[in-house]
Amino acid sequence: MSDHLATVAGTDVDTRHWIDGRRRGSATVFTDLSPIDGRPLASIARGAAPEADAAVQAAANAFPDWAATPPAERARLLHAIADGVHKRLDELAQVETADNGALLRSHRVGVMPRVAHNFRFFADRLLSLAHPDFATRGHTNQVAWRPAGPCALITPWNAPLMLATWKVAPALAAGNTVVLKPAEWSPLTASLLADIAHEAGLPPGVLNVVQGYGTEAGRALAAHPGIRRISFTGSVPTGRAVAAAAARNLTPVSLELGGKSPLLVFADADLDLAVDLAVEQYDNAGQVCLAATRLLVEEPVAAEFTRRLVARAEGLRQGDPRTESTELGPLVHPRQLEKVDGFVRRAVEQGARVLTGGSPHPQLGPLHYRPTLLTQVAQDSEIVQEEVFGPVLTLQTFRTEQEALTLANGTRFGLAATLATGDRDRAARVAARLVAGTVWVNCFFVRDLRAPFGGARSSGIGREGGTWSFDFYCDLHTTVTAPTGWSEHG
């Protein structure tokens, strides 16, 4: 077995970078741990400025030919990548579960099929991308999307391949070349994606994968003068650092920086539905940027809602994410467990009451944390204002619609919001006043790639999805043609 191959869940994964159509090592490595048992999975090539520069150069060299490739051919190759993902769906699911600890059944049924769909959707969208011509004083205006150039895509660990391909697919469809920097806590499926893209026939240099730490490889990419677009998903502090580095080169950025989303439950809501929605917020051990971790419940139903939710939370089956019956797996990394537990401990010290959970569950494994519900929390407290990114919900009550809105909008975030009510007029009225990029009414996590995705305030900058992705990954180009001035032979 090669020193550069790690066997993970029965699949061989190359641990080197993918640059210019071939594998490239680094002088140093870092250790990738499995959240399931805390054991090392692989020693991963640790990229930094030299590898980032080589990848950007490869992307720059490949860009002219790829940008000139007819859209139909680009779309064909994206569909071929989707076919490769579908063919290796179970392998990808098992490797990603081993690497980031999310439920295997979710990866098989939802996440990996969505990875393939990302490529198919943007391939098809490319072929329908058009803007109608329009006239100005007899002149013809034509609008077109022109590829911008090499793109740096820096992706998170909580849904590694799905969120990576949410960026890779539209960037490639638009005619750009890509340097992908996966999160160091879950890099393995990005390496497999490079193999799949190569097998599909993607030309060398069009997709490059550089592994490493954000402070090294990520920083080098964000500051690189050869990069024409940067898309980043992650924390607010890192987003600020990416934006600052990009500003030196005036590189456009798209930033999705998480949230502290509310779930508003009105007294006229279907209470069973409202409790179901609340329980969904524990999905992926709470490591979901869109999670509505702040439960805001109207006083008349608060006691009954709380009783039902506590019972449901305590009944969640925690354990090995590879087991079909498991509903709540581990956190991704020891540092994440320390972070989550620190939030809860400080909240309790400040007066919060633990209704259920509130501590790790070491009997199940080193990184399991009990589903937690806290009440008696102040609106200005850390636990209400800051993103925990773990299975921790807070519960506050309100008396009036205005009070609910004040609480819901009372953080620096604005990524999403969820609303449970039986009143259509209230639903429309409240949804219109919530500061959020996406509002779900009597549902949660219903996503369509045709819709724009992004947040307000500290939740980020920009929108991606549908035509909005092409708007970001392209330079919009307008040609205005006069009706006169043509020669007889023109």
Amino acid at 21: G
Candidates 289, 298, 387, 464; catalytic one: 289
Tokens of 159: 């849904």
- CA–CA dist 90, 86 (Å, integer): 8
Candidates 96, 184, 216, 256; catalytic one: 256
- CA–CA dist 468, 115 (Å, integer): 19
Amino acid at 70: P
259: Cα within 13 Å, side-chain hemisphere? 31
In the β-sheet with 392-398, what is the strand arrangement from edge to edge?
353-356, 372-375, 392-398, 294-298, 262-265, 416-420, 438-441
How many other C-beta atoms lie within 10 A of the C-beta of residue 389? 24
Verify whether residue 443 is a known catalytic residue.
no
- CA–CA dist 183, 103 (Å, integer): 19
For the residues of 436-472, what is the DSSP string, one character each? -SEEEES------TTS-B--SGGGEE--BSHHHHHHH
Tokens of 155: 């992706």
- Contact assessment for residue 441 and residue 430, using Cβ atoms and an 8 Å cutoff: no
For the chain, how many residues are written? 490
Reduced to 3 states (helix: H, G, I; strand: E, B; else coil), residue 160 is helix
Q: Residue 103: which of 288, 358, 233, 309 has the closest Cα?
A: 288
In this structure, is the dihedral angle defined by the CA atoms of residues 164, 167, 173 and 178, taken in order, positive or negative?
Answer: negative
- The residues annotated as belonging to the active site are 256, 289
